[in-house]
Amino acid sequence: MARKDFDPSTFQPDARPPAQARLFDPGTEGPWRGSVEGIAIGGPVTVLAHGTDTPGAGPRLHVHPYDETFIVLEGRARVFVGETVLEAGAGEVVFGPAGIPHRFENIGPGRLQTIDIHHSPRWIQADLD
């Protein structure tokens, strides 16, 4: 499907150069595989990679002063955002608004792999438990 959401002739291209950084080493063990702060590459978001094979495992309850978007790449997650509990599978996206405590866990079976997008050029977090 072709898209044309804006007229490119009316838009001034950004002057920032393209940049690249390693999010994670595929051979790295453990659930937190890596992160790239937006400030390191001149971008407005920070990207984290999280994966675990253990049902029930996931990050502790925490909060950010900015929005966070969770992308489930593989497996199934139970995501707690404030009083709301959502289940998301591979290919689904969950949004966590700024200032709302949240966490997620692997509900199995198998591996849960996520990409977590922090809508901030820096990773800022307060753990609550």
Using the structure block, give the residue that is written with the tokens 């994966």.
51
The verdict on residue 24 lying in a domain is no
CB 33 within 8 A of CB 111: no
The verdict on residue 6 lying in a domain is no
Residue 4: pLDDT band with limits 50, 70, 90: confident
Check residue 5 and give its pLDDT. Answer: 86
Residue 15: pLDDT band with limits 50, 70, 90: confident
Range of the domain at 64: 30-127
Residue 28: pLDDT band with limits 50, 70, 90: confident
The verdict on residue 2 lying in a domain is no
The verdict on residue 19 lying in a domain is no
The verdict on residue 21 lying in a domain is no
Instruction: Give the whole-angstrom CA distance, residue 114 versus residue 73.
Output: 5
Instruction: Give the whole-angstrom CA distance, residue 71 versus residue 90.
Output: 8
Q: Where does residue 96 rank: exposed (0-12), middle (13-18), buried (19+ CB within 10 A)?
A: buried
The verdict on residue 4 lying in a domain is no
Check residue 26 and give its pLDDT. Answer: 79
pLDDT tens digits, residue range 37-77?
Answer: 999 999 999 999 999 999 999 999 999 999 999 999 999 99
The verdict on residue 25 lying in a domain is no
pLDDT at 7 over 90: no
Instruction: Please report, for the domain that includes residue 118, its CATH number.
Output: 2.60.120.10
The verdict on residue 22 lying in a domain is no
Check residue 74 and give its pLDDT. Answer: 95
From residue 20, how far is each of 25, 69, 85, 115 by CA, in Å?
14, 21, 35, 17
- What is the torsion angle, in degrees rounded to the nearest 10, for the CA atoms of residue 63, residue 69, residue 70 and residue 73? -160
pLDDT tens digits, residue range 70-103?
Answer: 999 999 999 999 999 999 999 999 999 999 999 9
Check residue 63 and give its pLDDT. Answer: 97
Number of domains in the chain: 1
